[in-house]
Structure 1
């Protein structure tokens, strides 16, 4: 081997080693079982019975009946994940697909909130619960929530996030304007003693609580994820439609209903050209590990305009009441 070839070989080895080290330190997860290529979206994480469980959307199987579904993975360190199950369609309202999971742990059960999919403006929020985090029993009143069609909403509800704050559970959802063009956030509420059934939910505000206004938000604000810090709620949300690029912003509220933006620019932007998330950094989930006190922002991304989708996370620090990305 010539000296020049040895130098090239050493450079390649160092490059590959550095990439391998990066991926070993950074969470990079995607399920390939349905398409034969990495494709997972909409991450949501809970800690249940000593392990981390992540629920995420998985795409339809080509040339087979059914639609989107929900996958389940587990981890002990929030970096390395293994798929352990799938939430299979069980009811007529799920036959066209269901996805975009949100979850919480209450009374020793995992409560899963998800949307029906493939029904246009009729898509709505559903609820199920599980004693093991894998096998779920549906709420008999499903779908549990969708707003009535009105002068601000076409009646669709997707991207559920349910969060307890003060004397209510708030259900944050995305809907569209009557023309079906602008995606925006709404919120419903239920009492703390709710079993999450349909009759417990009412609109907390009969209008959008956050809609696209900034240039980078395009025509879409969706995927709200909520965390409480020092008596205030912070909403991490996705701005703009997928691969536009979609990027992540932050808003804050004292009452869970009225919101203002913390930043005018994306908190987590899409990556630079050549990076794994150059097409977008989207659909956030903010997760706090109560044992360590650390906060992590989970999100989806890709660099091929949606041919593949990966899930990752980044640690979030808090300074003077505002979140910042860990350096």
Structure 2
């Protein structure tokens, strides 16, 4: 069973209740695939089976507002790397196939990025080289989470979050692969031995994570989450001409947490900027008002003027 509430007319508010009996959906990522929208998102361990770990839910829609759950992605038998859990999906469609990039969960410094493919968007086949990526270098602890993959200037860029050696500060890194890549482990090369974005602004506190990338003109725009969950986490925007060097578009949050009593007063977090086939863009993000007891996913259309995004509110 899933729950959807309407905070206002026409507004998407999606919460998966199937795991713990109350709405709990995080880390959205949406694709337009074979005549429908598919949303991949993180779901918590089963209420009475904590060993089931975090997994991935799948919902479908035809209007980006009303969503119905159609599947789950759970640890596959024999895959030791994901047996404790998998979550934070990112996806792209190439040649009629959904390529899903996701992280393992529950392994601290050893969590890494994995890859799977599907011809129907629901049943996935694991990449035999999984995990496909973990970072190296003194600037990080070896962990990679929150994968986002996009094609840019003849290469694929894999954006990921890691932490510093003390496991305190969340940072952004990037790896690259050839355009003809099968996304196997041997194809990914770390693009630089340093973070590409790290917390600097007061509202970002100790964390930048959940990068979502969209190409507009000759630039890439990164919508990212600043601060850890419920700190409150809020959404910022950065831009890049080469996919590696980034500068912030705004110094204040693009989407802030809500006011006391509003549905997202605890946070507005983990963004996904969905670029639809008609060119329109929609910002999906998670929020709650009870410090993480529940989690809903919503979206808002993003508009562009003079090369910068804005919301009509």
What's the TM-score once normalised by structure 1's chain length?
Answer: 0.92
Q: Quick one: distance in 1 between partners of 2:289 and 2:75?
A: 30
Q: Which residue of 1 aligns with 2:119?
A: 131
SS of the residue corresponding to residue 14 of structure 2 reads coil
2:28 aligned to 43, 46, 53, which one? 43
Q: Quick one: distance in 2 between partners of 1:71 and 1:21?
A: 21
Q: Quick one: distance in 1 between partners of 2:34 and 2:97?
A: 10
- Superposition map of 1:1-327 within 5 A: 22-64=7-49, 65-90=51-76, 91-148=79-136, 150-291=137-278, 293-327=279-313
Contact 2:74 2:86 in 1 (8 A): no
Q: Quick one: distance in 2 between partners of 1:157 and 1:191?
A: 20
Contact 2:233 2:257 in 1 (8 A): yes
Shift of 1:30: 0.8
RMSD in angstroms over aligned alpha carbons?
A: 1.0
Shift of 1:24: 4.0
Q: Quick one: distance in 1 between partners of 2:8 and 2:182?
A: 41
Unaligned runs of 5+ in 2: none
Cα 1:138–1:278 change in 2 (3 A) is: same
Shift of 1:22: 4.3
Considering fraction of residues, name the structure with more helix: 1
SS of the residue corresponding to residue 70 of structure 1 reads strand
Cα 1:21–1:160 change in 2 (3 A) is: closer
**CA deviations over 1:18-65 (Å, ceiling 9, x no partner):** xx8744410000100110100000000000001000000000113323
Runs of 4+ with deviation above 6 angstroms: none
Shift of 1:137: 0.2
Unaligned runs of 5+ in 1: 1-19
Report how many residues are paired.
306
SS of the residue corresponding to residue 19 of structure 2 reads coil
Contact 2:209 2:225 in 1 (8 A): yes
Larger radius of gyration: 1
